Amino acid sequence: MTKFDDQLFVCIDCETTGLNPKEDLIIEVAAAVFTTKGILEEFATLIDPGRLIPPESTVIHHITDDMVTGKPKVESVLPKLLQMIGKKTIVGHGVGFDIELLAVAAERTGIGHSLKGNSSIDTLRMARLYGKSPTNALEQLRKHFCIEPHGAHRAMSDVSVNIDVFLNLIKDYKDLRQLFDILEKPIQMQTMPLGKYKGRGIKELPQDYLQWAAKQAFDRDLLFTLRSEVKRRKRGALFVQSANPFSTLE
């Protein structure tokens, strides 16, 4: 049994030029080592990606080309960041994306890392299990738990909010092992979190859209949910046919 109070965590967040971890670059990174009692160490910096930041990305994080010009390159930032992370449990909202970004950046610049060997906790998935917030966006969770705002949508402010959200979400679990055991299994979601039917109940999705979505490269919770709904509808159709042997006749 690993009590939460005995554990060292590190929360990370990256702002980027886009949403593809294989091709897009980090322009800001923040990390904080913390326990349930408080933050022990913080680190945040803007990063010069060496390319222009797309306007659609700037709309989200408000980081401009002028802000990153002359800032450190990622290869000079990673050693300190990786040292902070060490073997600690990594916490983040959609944390797999941030881990992948850092891993790709390290590999691209020839810096050794063991990021994918760390245990990690995704507060987005925890929020799906929690199920009491109108949406699982970090800002909505902040409001739901009455957490004071930490500033605009930037890496360090997101880390600070994320830690507070995490500390609220772990109240439903007795220890770290219980949390890991539950998170190992896919989570059944109730609503579509993205796309043109965002916010619509999974059971309300049109059949053609459901069939298409179930074949996309979504995260495992959403794919599990969509494919489970496909199976549910097939079972329902088979039941109707078996109950009415004339249902297929014209």
Please write down the HEC assignment for all residues of the chain.
Answer: CCCHHHCCEEEEEEEECCCCCCCCCEEEEEEEEEECCEEEEEEEEECCCCCCCCHHHHHHHCCCHHHHCCCCCHHHHHHHHHHHHCCCEEEECCHHHHHHHHHHHHHHCCCCCCHHHCCEEEHHHHHHHHCCCCCCCHHHHHHHCCCCCCCCCCHHHHHHHHHHHHHHHHHHCCCHHHHHHHHCCCCCCCECCCCCCCCCEHHHCCHHHHHHHCCCCCCHHHHHHHHHHHHHHHHHHHHHHHHCCCCCCC
> With bands split at pLDDT 50, 70 and 90, how would you rate the model's confidence at 250?
very low
Mean pLDDT along residues 104-126: 96
Is residue 159 domain-resident? yes
Q: What are phi and psi of 2, to 5 degrees?
A: -115, 105
Is residue 21 domain-resident? yes
What is the pLDDT at residue 149? 84
What is the pLDDT at residue 2? 80
* Higher-pLDDT residue of 238, 64: 64
Tell whether 107 and 215 lie within a shared domain: no
Mean pLDDT along residues 18-30: 94
What is the pLDDT at residue 43? 96
Contact in structure between 183 and 172 (CB atoms under 8 Å): no
pLDDT for residue 246 is more than 80:
no
What is the pLDDT at residue 1? 64
Q: How many domains does the chain have?
A: 2
Mean pLDDT along residues 86-112: 96
Identify the CATH number of the domain in which residue 61 sits.
Answer: 3.30.420.10
Q: Tell me which residue range forms the domain holding 232.
A: 202-243
Tell whether 211 and 89 lie within a shared domain: no
What is the pLDDT at residue 58? 94
> With bands split at pLDDT 50, 70 and 90, how would you rate the model's confidence at 28?
very high
* Residue 153 among the catalytic residues: yes
Tell whether 165 and 211 lie within a shared domain: no
Nearest 5°: CA angle at 247, between 243 and 250? 165
Tell whether 23 and 138 lie within a shared domain: yes
State percent of the chain over pLDDT 70: 93
Is residue 191 domain-resident? no
Average pLDDT of every residue of the chain: 92
Mean pLDDT along residues 233-248: 65
pLDDT for residue 82 is more than 80:
yes
> With bands split at pLDDT 50, 70 and 90, how would you rate the model's confidence at 242?
low
Contact in structure between 30 and 158 (CB atoms under 8 Å): yes
Mean pLDDT along residues 102-123: 96
Is residue 11 domain-resident? yes
Mean pLDDT along residues 82-90: 97
**62, 113, 150, 153: the active-site residue:** 153
The pTM is what? 0.89
Reported as half-sphere exposure (CB side, CA atoms, 13 A), residue 35 has a value of 9
What is the pLDDT at residue 155? 87
In angstroms, rounded to a whole number, what is the distance separating the alpha carbons of residues 45 and 68?
10
Q: What are phi and psi of 30, to 5 degrees?
A: -140, 150
What is the C-alpha end-to-end distance of the chain, expressed in Å?
Answer: 62
Whole-angstrom Cα Rg for the chain: 21
Which of 132, 152, 183 lies at the terminal end of a domain, its last residue?
183
> With bands split at pLDDT 50, 70 and 90, how would you rate the model's confidence at 78?
very high
What is the pLDDT at residue 39? 96
pLDDT for residue 154 is more than 90:
no
Is residue 47 domain-resident? yes
Q: What is the pLDDT of residues 173-215, one digit of tens each?
A: 999 999 999 999 999 999 999 999 999 999 999 999 999 999 9
